[in-house]
């Protein structure tokens, strides 16, 4: 029987799998990619009797591939916090899915394991821009402020590394990053021992400084839309930049667009942290869009649909403001 671990290449996916495999070691074939590479299940050559563990990618996006595998007698355990849609009825499917705003996949795994490796969940929550969740877990774990700050730096750096159009855009491939941290049950030992952590942090700060010089395409009372120049650094920083905007302006929504090789836009959307809803609705209205209520994206927005996107952004987040979000 073969086992496959299928996971998003960002901080949440990597830290979720790491917690699970620290608690339940398993020889597995790894399937992952850049953050936006979410249709991963179709790559899995599983057969009857095999098993999959899937973490931090949308069930809905992978529905066809999962349905086929379940019909073949492949066992699937699923941990995720993105929009899932209706789940198939199958004795071979065990799903741990929670789409509420303050939860990420690593938090679901942390709950499942009773908090055994909580610092990794804290790092993932910081990486997924869930500061209140991260702080709550840090208090429960008894971390000092300095230790919590180390987890923030680690989570944001791992998450930053996942952004790019191809694995070649990244400083280190997500699978290689996971293999590097795999021996470390203690994230503080990982930080102290592995040079890649400092390298990621340094590159992250340099790219963010460049992004912060960009003027928004559209600036509204309740949100802003940025179109970044077509450069390698913009593809690396788009997610982090969106998170920084959301944290610094918590009552406003933000969209960050970069150019794909085919001329379309990749879109990262952050709902207001003060009222985290609407991001998934906005992005699912466009082909290739998905995500969660607080943060979502579109893989390939046609250039001709930019105006339609801006109109939809204004409609969704203008309505959110009218529904009772705190005023700026």
Q: Could you read off the pLDDT tens digit of each residue along the chain, which spans 328 residues?
A: 899 999 999 999 999 999 999 999 999 999 999 998 999 999 999 999 999 999 999 999 999 999 999 999 999 999 999 989 999 999 999 999 999 989 999 999 999 999 999 999 999 999 998 999 999 999 999 999 999 999 999 999 999 999 888 898 899 999 999 999 999 999 999 999 999 999 999 999 999 999 999 999 999 889 999 999 998 889 889 888 998 999 999 999 999 999 988 999 999 999 999 989 999 999 999 998 988 899 999 999 999 999 999 999 999 998 655 444 433 3
Inter-residue contact 170 to 199 (CB < 8 Å): no
- Domain spans, the chain: 3-202, 218-322
What token pair was written down for 61?
């996006």
* pLDDT score, position 290: 87
* pLDDT score, position 236: 87
Say which CATH class 3-202 falls into: alpha beta
Going by their DSSP bridges, the two strands 29-31 and 51-55 should be labelled as unpaired
What token pair was written down for 276?
């985290």
Coil, helix or strand for 274? coil
What is the rounded CA–CA span in Å between residue 30 and residue 242? 29
* pLDDT score, position 323: 45
* pLDDT score, position 326: 39
* pLDDT score, position 322: 46
- pTM confidence score: 0.84
* pLDDT score, position 261: 86
Residues 6+ apart with CB under 8 A from 294: 101, 129, 130, 270, 271, 273, 276, 277, 279
What is the rounded CA–CA span in Å between residue 317 and residue 276? 10
* pLDDT score, position 66: 97
Inter-residue contact 190 to 181 (CB < 8 Å): yes
Same fold, 3-202 and 218-322: no
> Which CATH topology does 218-322 take?
Diaminopimelate Epimerase; Chain A, domain 1 (3.10.310)
* pLDDT score, position 319: 65
């Amino acid at each position: 029987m073969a086992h496959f671990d299928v996971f998003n290449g960002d901080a949440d996916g990597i830290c979720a799998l790491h917690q699970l495999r620290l608690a339940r070691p398993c020889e597995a074939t790894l399937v992952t990619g850049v953050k936006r590479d979410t249709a991963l299940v179709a790559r899995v050559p599983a057969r009857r009797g095999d098993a999959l563990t899937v973490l931090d990618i949308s069930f809905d996006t992978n529905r066809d591939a999962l349905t086929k595998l379940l019909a073949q007698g492949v066992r699937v355990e699923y941990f995720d916090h993105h929009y899932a849609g209706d789940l198939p009825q199958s004795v071979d499917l065990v799903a741990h899915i929670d789409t509420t705003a303050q939860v990420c996949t690593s938090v679901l795994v942390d709950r499942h394991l009773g908090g055994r490796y909580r610092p990794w969940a804290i790092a993932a929550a910081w990486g997924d821009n869930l500061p209140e969740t991260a702080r709550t877990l840090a208090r429960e774990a008894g971390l000092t402020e300095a230790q919590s700050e180390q987890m923030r730096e680690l989570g944001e750096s791992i998450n930053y590394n996942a952004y790019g159009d191809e694995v070649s855009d990244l400083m280190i491939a997500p699978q290689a990053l996971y293999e590097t941290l795999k021996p470390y049950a203690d994230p503080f030992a990982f930080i102290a021992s592995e040079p890649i952590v400092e390298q990621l942090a340094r590159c992250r700060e340099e790219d963010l400084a460049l992004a912060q010089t960009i003027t928004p395409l559209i600036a509204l009372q309740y949100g802003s839309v940025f179109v970044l120049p077509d450069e390698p650094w913009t593809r690396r920083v788009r997610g982090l930049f969106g998170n920084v905007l959301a944290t610094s302006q918590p009552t406003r929504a933000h969209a960050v667009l970069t150019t794909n090789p085919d001329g379309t836009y990749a879109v990262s959307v952050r709902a207001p942290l003060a009222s985290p809803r609407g991001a998934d609705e906005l992005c699912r209205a466009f082909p290739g869009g998905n995500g969660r209520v607080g943060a979502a994206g579109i893989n390939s927005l046609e250039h001709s649909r930019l105006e339609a996107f801006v109109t939809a952004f204004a409609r969704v987040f203008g309505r959110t403001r009218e529904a009772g979000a705190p005023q700026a």
